[in-house]
Chains A and B, each alone.
Chain A
């Protein structure tokens, strides 16, 4: 029944490893996002996809690669993890063809800890 679900909830890994976070939404929304929340709780957008097409790619290292196999899924793959990547990553979705729909529905987050 969860509208936006992401897995895993917690991810603990060593520096240099490659990891993926998966996200699925069952709301029928056209747009999906990845946000990063740092230790000070600041939320910053990373990527946005509309119907599998990349719309927003903020200044994010190219070690981060989003992949959208269909409009209900947006996964985040991270290569060569660094200590500074430790944060909570949120997937979100919104309705509408363009980025004018501001009502975001968030997943419950993935706590990434890089050791």
Chain B
């Protein structure tokens, strides 16, 4: 299947710092989504993006749909301890009404 390259694989940051992570692909996507998975729970949708260039915020989270439609970025500002978890990007391929492809995840640790 199509692959999404998500980076970084893990991050250790101090509380209050800003965080950036991204996903790239060699394929074009119609939709980009960002999910967060807390320990012992299922992923929860954070932000959904539908148009190239779209910039959407959800509280301290901001995500962008890349102009080329082959990438997406997620930024978290002023991190807090409850931001800890695994962040997944997911995309829906152009020309296909099929399932989401998930990235490999970014494990975020916020140090006090």
Give every chain B residue within 8 A of A42 (Cβ-Cβ): 102, 104-105
Given A45-B99, A48-B99, A103 and B104 contact (CB-CB distance below 8 Å) = no
- Is A12 an interface position by the 8 A CB rule? no
**Interface range for A:** 20 to 34
A107 touches B104 (CB 8 A): no
A-B pair number, CB within 8 angstroms: 54
- Is B21 an interface position by the 8 A CB rule? no
- Is B52 an interface position by the 8 A CB rule? no
A40 touches B104 (CB 8 A): yes
Give every chain B residue within 8 A of A48 (Cβ-Cβ): 99
Give every chain A residue within 8 A of B110 (Cβ-Cβ): none
* A59 CB, nearest partner CB in chain B, Å: 10
- Is B90 an interface position by the 8 A CB rule? yes
B99 touches A108 (CB 8 A): no
B41 touches A41 (CB 8 A): no
B42 touches A103 (CB 8 A): no
Which residues of B are interface residues toward A (Cβ below 8 A)? 31, 33, 35, 37, 40-45, 48, 86, 88, 90, 92, 97-100, 102, 104-105, 107
- New A-B contacts (14) at CB < 8 Å, excluding given A4-B42, A109-B42: A41-B104, A42-B102, A42-B105, A43-B105, A90-B42, A99-B97, A102-B31, A102-B48, A104-B35, A104-B43, A104-B100, A105-B45, A107-B42, A109-B41
